[in-house]
């Protein structure tokens, strides 16, 4: 119920546009690396100093105008250049909708090709994040087209989908990121129960570790991480065939610990002004993330009208739920 509420908020275009005007608020600054490239490079350097590599995402949602998609492409090209110039250990994550998938397939494809061309010149990997089910097949179609010309590209498999195994086998020769899935999907196509999503996650990750090219295990779930640690040991899977990934700002201690233990670790580093949808999905996943909101709402210095109103609304809903 709370998950549905935050997913609905994440899809609200009015609040999304309002939030962009106010800069990072409501605690989003703890989980978004910065609003510009300079701040983001600084955050990447800090993570690199701990032996952690990064995948950098220029946040952006609800792109329905070509100018906005072109602006997003230019920003991503700027990040690629900055990663190269600063010689930091990082690559790119992006969403096909941000580059115009909802406007015109060929237009989005051309934008992606330009990004891949620049990244391949620097031997840099580009990951296509996968969004909700309405964009799933179009995003994989974009991927299929890109693979005809480029090999520095990979994508995501969401284990809540019944067809996750089929997608894993189709794209086994790519570097794949495995996640549980962040959107609300109908029961006809996606598992709804955590135990089923987790079981499918383990199934597809293990299959890809044994049969695939390179596996990014993207979860904050310590039970799954511990399970995979035992699996790779038992099956002698070399460390250069996989990595663990988590989102910037979450479970920082565990991120550092895994890197310290000698596992390849990559942090997903989102940046930019369009933080609202990303942040609401994080609240949908884990209501405890509301702690981040509470800290900001009660800090007078960082309050804004939007912050107070939205924070009170969210906390109100939380307390009502706890009383039940």
Ligand X SMILES: Cc1cc2nc3c(=O)[nH]c(=O)nc-3n(C[C@H](O)[C@H](O)[C@H](O)COP(=O)(O)OP(=O)(O)OC[C@H]3O[C@@H](n4cnc5c(N)ncnc54)[C@H](O)[C@@H]3O)c2cc1C
286 binds ligand X (CB under 6 A): yes
130 binds ligand X (CB under 6 A): yes
97 binds ligand X (CB under 6 A): no
179 binds ligand X (CB under 6 A): yes
The CB-of-291 to ligand X minimum distance in angstroms stands at: 10
Contacts 24+ apart (CB under 8 A), 144-150: 145/109, 146/109, 146/112, 146/113, 146/116, 147/174, 149/113, 149/116, 150/113, 150/116, 150/117, 150/120
> Which residue number, 16 or 245, has a Cβ lying nearer to ligand X?
245
The secondary structure element, H or E, covering residue 256 is helix 252-260
Residues designated catalytic: 129, 177
Stretch that binds ligand X, among 34-42, 102-110, 242-250, 299-307 (CB under 6 A): 242-250
Of 181, 270, 272, 311, the one binding ligand X (CB under 6 A) is: 181
91 binds ligand X (CB under 6 A): no
200-233 burial: b if 16+ Cβ within 10 Å, else e: bbbebbbbbbeebebbbbbbbbeebbeebeeebe
> Which residue number, 152 or 267, has a Cβ lying nearer to ligand X?
267
Angle at 290 between CA 284 and CA 295, to 5 degrees: 155
Stretch 131-170 residues interacting with ligand X (CB under 6 A): 156, 158
Of 68, 145, 196, 285, the one binding ligand X (CB under 6 A) is: 285
Q: Distance (Å, rounded) from C-alpha 244 to C-alpha 259? A: 9
275 binds ligand X (CB under 6 A): no
Contact positions toward ligand X, by CB under 6 A?
129-130, 156, 158, 179-183, 218-221, 245-247, 250-251, 268, 285-286
């Amino acid at each position: 119920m709370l998950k549905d509420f935050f997913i609905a908020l994440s899809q609200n275009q009015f609040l999304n546009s309002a939030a962009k005007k106010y800069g990072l608020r409501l605690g989003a600054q703890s989980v978004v690396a910065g609003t510009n490239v300079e701040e983001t490079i600084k955050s990447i350097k800090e993570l690199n100093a701990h032996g952690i590599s990064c995948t950098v995402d220029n946040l952006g949602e609800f792109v329905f105008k070509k100018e906005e998609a072109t602006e997003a492409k230019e920003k991503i090209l700027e990040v690629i250049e900055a990663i190269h110039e600063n010689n930091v250990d990082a690559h790119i994550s992006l969403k096909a909708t941000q580059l115009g998938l909802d406007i015109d397939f060929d237009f989005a494809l051309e934008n992606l090709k330009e990004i891949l061309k620049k990244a391949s010149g620097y031997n840099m990997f580009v990951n296509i994040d996968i969004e909700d089910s309405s964009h799933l097949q179009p995003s994989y179609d974009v991927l299929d087209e890109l693979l005809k010309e480029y090999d520095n590209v990979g994508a995501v498999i969401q284990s809540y989908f019944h067809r996750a195994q089929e997608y894993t086998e189709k794209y086994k020769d790519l570097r794949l990121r495995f996640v549980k899935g962040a959107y609300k999907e109908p029961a006809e196509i996606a598992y709804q129960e955590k135990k089923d999503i987790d079981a499918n996650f383990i199934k597809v990750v293990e299959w890809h570790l044994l049969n695939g090219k390179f596996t990014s295990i993207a979860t904050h779930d310590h039970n799954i991480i511990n399970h995979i640690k035992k699996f790779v040991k038992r099956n002698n899977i070399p460390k250069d065939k996989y990595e663990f990934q988590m989102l910037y700002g979450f479970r920082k201690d565990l991120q550092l610990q895994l890197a310290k233990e000698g596992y390849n670790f990559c942090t997903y580093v989102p940046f930019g002004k369009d933080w609202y949808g990303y942040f609401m999905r994080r609240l949908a996943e884990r209501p405890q993330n509301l702690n981040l909101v509470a800290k900001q709402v009660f800090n007078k210095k960082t309050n804004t009208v939007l912050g107070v109103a939205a924070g009170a609304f969210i906390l109100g809903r939380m307390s009502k739920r706890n009383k039940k």
